[in-house]
């Protein structure tokens, strides 16, 4: 297991309010192509207790039940570890959540979004803990899904970050990739993300630099926030004993100017939430200038002096381009995975509907 503590430097589990025993919460999942929707689920789960443990499935388990993951298990472990609401990560967590798992890690209950997770044979992976009353549900973040992000990469569209009209191909994708023959799937269908000030407040720390803290400014696209970004920010965090890292995010049009194609894959609002969820970042500049000026530095009360620029090697060779290449190389497998998942979900919903329609005395107890 990997313990994070409540800050980037780590720390021991703290008792709950009033000295009571800490409420320990369990979450689990694939956490493949981690985005702000995953982070928001973990934020909500952490708010239900005092200590959050997150189990992450192996590549083998995901391939068995869903299809090939985009990221390796080691990459996924580290991505979840970097989310600031996570206290501890459990690698190789079982795909089906059981009471045995909750008891093993002394967890009071588990939390999952209001969507469906099924095994390869179509059973609810949370059935046992639901029946035992040790299951809580949080709201799924509307407007984001791995399916949608994959679609943006495959179709090379700019509709997600510009005012251009959605192409007929993307409209067809949005209407069909998130569907099975029976119609639109309510959980994995493509939808549009709506940014609100409340969402930013929920993700932001709200803390200003304190005396003795070293203000460090970094800037970039931070598109499809991934392990390369995490490795970089972790190294930046180590540059000072008490760092206060401000991440500047370039406007979508600026990113498209120097990256080309359909970049950025995530629009500015989506990238803002992804970076704010990282435990190494204290503040985000939304729409930072491409050039770092004296005026920008003075805004953060950082004295202008020569020799303050440092170039940091993240040590990771992963880039947004490589992620896109992974998707393109395995396009057919990812599309098949999506269709397989949705077929199982629709079959499950239909079985649940038929079960609910039966008289009480005739129900078989599976639901």
Structural domains for the chain? 24-138 (3.40.50.620), 197-321 (3.40.50.620)
Find the Cα–Cα–Cα–Cα dihedral 31, 4, 141, 253, rounded to 10°.
-90
pLDDT at position 68 is 84
How far is Cα 102 from Cα 105, in angstroms, rounded to an integer? Answer: 6
Q: Is the distance from CB of 297 to CB of 217 less than 8 angstroms?
A: yes
Tokens of 145: 């899904």
What are the Cα distances from residue 228, in Å, to 84, 88, 91, 211, 231?
Answer: 17, 21, 20, 30, 5
**What are the residues facing 135 on neighbouring strands?**
110
Structure confidence at residue 157 (pLDDT) = 56
Q: Which of 101, 27, 94, 110 is nearest to 61 (CA)?
A: 94
In which residue are the tokens 């589990």 written? 13
Q: Which residue has the tokens 């708010």?
A: 47
Angle between the N-to-C axes of helices 320-329 and 146-155, in degrees from 0 to 180, rounded to the nearest 10: 90
From residue 106, give the alpha-carbon distance in Å to each of 12, 25, 322: 15, 9, 39
Centroid of chain to Cα 173? 23
Structure tokens at 112: 């999952």
pLDDT the model gives residue 356 = 65
Q: What is the pLDDT along the chain (367 residues), one digit of tens a residue?
A: 555 444 454 456 777 777 788 999 999 999 998 999 999 999 999 999 999 999 999 999 998 888 888 899 999 999 999 999 999 999 999 999 999 999 999 999 999 988 777 777 778 889 999 999 999 999 888 777 777 788 788 776 566 666 555 455 444 544 443 333 333 333 333 345 566 788 889 999 888 999 999 999 999 999 999 999 999 999 999 999 999 999 999 999 999 999 988 899 999 999 999 999 999 999 999 999 998 877 776 666 554 444 566 778 888 888 988 998 888 777 767 666 666 666 666 766 676 677 566 665 555 555 4
The answer to whether 173 touches 190, Cβ cutoff 8 Å, is yes
Q: 53 and 327 in contact (C-beta within 8 Å)?
A: no
- Return the pLDDT at 156: 62
- 189-193: Cβ within 8 A, 24+ apart: 189/145, 189/147, 190/145, 190/147, 190/148, 190/151, 191/142, 191/143, 191/145, 191/148, 192/143, 193/142, 193/143, 193/144, 193/267, 193/269, 193/270
Count Cβ atoms below 10 Å from residue 300 Cβ, excluding itself. 14
Tokens of 177: 């990739």
Query: Percentages helix, strand, coil for the chain, rounded to the nearest 5?
Result: 40, 15, 45
Quick one: which of 172, 251, 180, 256 has its CA closest to 219?
Answer: 251
- Alpha-carbon dihedral sign for residues 33, 34, 40, 44: positive
Q: What is the pTM of this model?
A: 0.77
- Can you give the pLDDT at residue 295? 72
pLDDT number for residue 192: 52
Residue 9: per-residue pLDDT: 42
b/e map 222-257, b = 16+ CB within 10 Å: bbbbbbbbbbbbbebbeeeeebbbbbbbbbbebbbe
């Amino acid at each position: 297991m990997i313990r994070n503590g409540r800050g980037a430097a780590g720390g021991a589990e703290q008792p709950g309010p009033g000295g009571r025993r800490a409420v320990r919460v369990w979450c689990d999942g694939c956490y493949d192509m981690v985005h702000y929707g995953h982070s928001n689920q973990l934020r909500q789960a952490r708010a239900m207790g005092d200590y959050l443990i997150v189990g992450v499935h192996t590549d083998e388990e995901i391939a068995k039940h869903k299809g090939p993951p985009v990221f390796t298990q080691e990459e996924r472990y580290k991505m979840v570890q970097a989310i600031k609401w996570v206290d501890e990560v459990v690698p190789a967590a079982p795909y089906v959540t059981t009471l045995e798992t909750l008891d093993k890690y002394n967890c009071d209950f588990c939390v999952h979004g209001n969507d469906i997770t099924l095994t390869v044979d179509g059973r609810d992976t949370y059935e046992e803990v639901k029946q035992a009353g040790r299951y809580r549900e949080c709201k799924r973040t509307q407007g984001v899904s791995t399916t949608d992000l994959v679609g943006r990469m495959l179709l090379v569209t700019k509709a997600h970050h510009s005012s251009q009209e959605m192409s007929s191909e993307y409209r067809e994708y949005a209407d069909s990739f998130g569907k099975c023959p029976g119609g639109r799937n309510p959980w994995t269908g493509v939808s549009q993300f709506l940014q609100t000030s409340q969402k930013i407040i929920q993700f932001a720390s709200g803390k200003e630099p304190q005396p003795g803290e070293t203000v460090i400014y970094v800037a970039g696209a931070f598109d499809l926030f991934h392990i390369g970004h995490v490795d970089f920010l972790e190294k930046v965090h180590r540059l000072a004993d008490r760092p206060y890292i401000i991440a500047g995010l370039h406007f979508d049009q600026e990113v498209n100017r120097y990256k080309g194609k359909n970049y950025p894959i995530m629009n500015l609002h989506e990238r803002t939430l992804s970076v704010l969820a990282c435990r190494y970042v204290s503040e985000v500049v939304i729409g930072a200038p491409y050039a770092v000026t004296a005026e920008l530095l003075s805004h953060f009360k950082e004295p202008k002096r020569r020799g303050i620029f440092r170039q940091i090697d993240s040590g990771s060779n992963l880039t947004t381009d490589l992620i896109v290449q992974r998707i393109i190389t395995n396009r057919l497998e990812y599309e098949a995975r999506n269709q397989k998942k949705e077929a199982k979900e629709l079959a499950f919903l239909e079985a649940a509907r038929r079960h609910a329609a039966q008289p009480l005395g005739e129900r078989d107890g599976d639901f």
